[in-house]
Amino acid sequence: MSVTGRTQAVPNRLLRLLLRPTAPPLWLGVAVAVGFIGVETLLVFQLKRVAPENAFGAVFLLGVLVVSAGWGFGLAIATSLASALVYVYFHLEGTDSLAPAVSVFLPLALLTNLLVGQARLRAAEAEQRRVEADLSAELARSTLGAGDLRAALDSAGRRIAEVLELPFAVLGLGDLTADARSTAVALCDGAERIGTLLVPADLPADARRRVRRILPSLEALLVSTRDRQQINAALAATHAEVSALADQQAALRRVATLVARGAEPAEVYPAAVTELAAGLGVEHVTLVAYDGDTDCVVLAARDSRDTATLSPGERLSLDGDSLTRRIRMTGRPARIDDYAGLGGPIPARLHGLRVRSGVGAPVIVDGRLRGAVLVGSVTADPLPAECEAKVGDFADLIATAIANAETRAELKASRSRIITAADHARRSLERDLHDGAQQRIVSLGLEVRALEASLPPDAEQQRHAMSRVATGLADLHHDLQELSRGIHPAILSRGGLGPAIKTLTRRSAVPVELDLDVDRRLPESVEVAAYYVVAEALTNAAKHARASQVTVHARAGDRALHLAVADDGVGGADASAGSGLIGLKDRVEAVSGHLEVTSVHGAGTTLTVEIRL
């Protein structure tokens, strides 16, 4: 700090000392008064030597001015009288009369004392108001920015007591009760009481005035604090609502993804009830299917409390009153806010699980009521009004999963029926050819040979003609045999898939490397599908792929038949371009199998098949 700064700091500290709300100690005032009078006397004594005709009374007003500014009226009067006596002393030594000293100096000193005292009081009050304004600003900053409001208000009370020089002060929201040593000062926003300030009951008048002056600031602070609490509560509620909505949408998205991937209903059911329980924050979720109008069957259940709950497959009667019955009767969402007093097997079961209220939505597939999704809460408060719509979203997903599964099952069954019917038709045609046309051709050939043998020796021309007819009939019989073998391979019926694949590889126009591990008979539909996959692949390799080598792998495991046919041809086969591969894919999928075609230009073609057993 510079010399100038230190020089300025001394008067500032002195000014703050003199303008304190309470006066400095009396002994200090007496010492200051005596010191000033002494200094003034010495100064006047020296001045009288220079100008003996002057009284220099204004010099004695300096001490009166300082004491009046720093201490009370009594000490200021005493200082004025003492200064007047000294002034009279010097005045008596001169030629003037005593009357001017008494009539002029003393009133002037008293007037100075009065004016300076008033100025001191005004300055002290202004300083006090500045301190109170700083206190209000400090309380606003600390309270409005605090995370713990109760702790902030406790700290504000202690700060009020410190600044206003009170024994204690307690600030709080609402109505605080005063005791024998405290007074409760109400803080209001209009007619509404918003808080209380507790201060000592026996405060002096000046302290009470200081408290009253700060009350409007405290009321404004508490109003702002109340508004801040309301805004924070609204923001917290909005954040919680948005977070809950995001959780619910995420749960719906996970279930929807599962449905879109074609998961079976048995996989969707437990996932849906688990996601619904987490998304809504409820304790109990149940999915049921209706069995007529009298019963329902539990498909899946979830209880977040890890307690005993309903079991999949459990059958419940619809007697009495319950959500399940109401949905069955109306086909619409329903709610029960209190299960107490309801009778019937389902309410009794839920009472045992401590479920007190619930909401349910129907599962409707193709316009038919198939089941219901039910959520239950163990709390006394009813579930929110929007709960029906949220449960309904999950019910729609479950209905979609059921519809998709049934559609896939119907498509698979229809495809299987078509392929089975075609196989039966082919087999019937093969049997008709073998038992009918082929036998008739053989009979005609024998008859022609008999006629040929009965001709006379000189009928050479007729004999040659009959021989050509017999040979033609034999060739026709051979062609029909080959045709019947292509319609339905007899070796497949007699020996099974292993010998049939060996026969196909032996007849292949392209060399085949065979890796065969099929040591037992498989279901007929599986054998037929695998046979035609190998036959079609070998035919394509010979006709279109320009392959030089084909590899066939076939292995019958405990759960599935694995089949792979690969060639080293030109590749580029497209299963979606209307080729025979589409028929193979349909045939394989009809028996719960999967066929995959990998065919890159210049890298050959591979057919991979897996058929569940």
Does the model's pTM come out above 0.85? no
User: What pLDDT, on the 0 to 100 scale, is given for residue 14?
Assistant: 46
Backbone angles phi, psi at 287, to 5 degrees: -115, 125
Q: Are 474 and 505 in contact (CB under 8 A)?
A: no
Residues 6+ apart with CB under 8 A from 431: none
**63-91 in b/e burial notation, b at 16+ Cβ within 10 A?**
bbbbbbbbbeeebbbebbebbbebbbebb
CA 561 to chain centre: 45
CA distance 526 to 478: 29
Which amino acid is present at 290? Y
- H or E element that contains 598: strand 593-599
Write a three-state SS string for 259-280.
HHCCCCHHHHHHHHHHHHHHHH
Indicate the class that CATH gives domain 492-612: alpha beta
**Lookup: tokens for 185:** 């000062």
pLDDT tens digit string along 350-391? 888 888 899 999 999 888 999 999 998 888 888 888 888 888
CA distance 98 to 612: 137
DSSP conformation class of 313: T
Burial class (CB in 10 A: 0-12, 13-18, 19+), 308: exposed
User: What pLDDT, on the 0 to 100 scale, is given for residue 55?
Assistant: 61
CA distance 545 to 259: 39
Helix (H, G, I), strand (E, B) or coil at 514: strand
User: What pLDDT, on the 0 to 100 scale, is given for residue 113?
Assistant: 66
Look at residues 559, 500, 575, 511 and name the one whose alpha carbon lies nearest to residue 534: 500
Q: Are 390 and 280 in contact (CB under 8 A)?
A: yes
Residues 6+ apart with CB under 8 A from 102: 84, 88
User: What pLDDT, on the 0 to 100 scale, is given for residue 4?
Assistant: 47
Residues 6+ apart with CB under 8 A from 415: 586, 589, 590
Residue spans of the chain under pLDDT 70: 1-23, 53-58, 69-70, 72-73, 89-106, 108-110, 112-114, 116-121, 123-125, 127-128, 132, 144-147, 244-245, 248, 306-308, 412-439, 476-491, 575-580
**118-152 in b/e burial notation, b at 16+ Cβ within 10 A?**
eebeeebbeebeeebeebbeebbeebeebeebeeb
Own/partner contacts of 140-143, CB < 8 Å, gap of 24 or more, are 140/221, 140/224, 143/221, 143/225
Look at residues 434, 368, 433 and name the one whose alpha carbon lies nearest to residue 402: 368
**Lookup: tokens for 83:** 């200064």
Fold for the domain defined by 250-409: Beta-Lactamase (3.30.450)
DSSP conformation class of 58: G
CA distance 66 to 64: 6
CA 155 to chain centre: 37
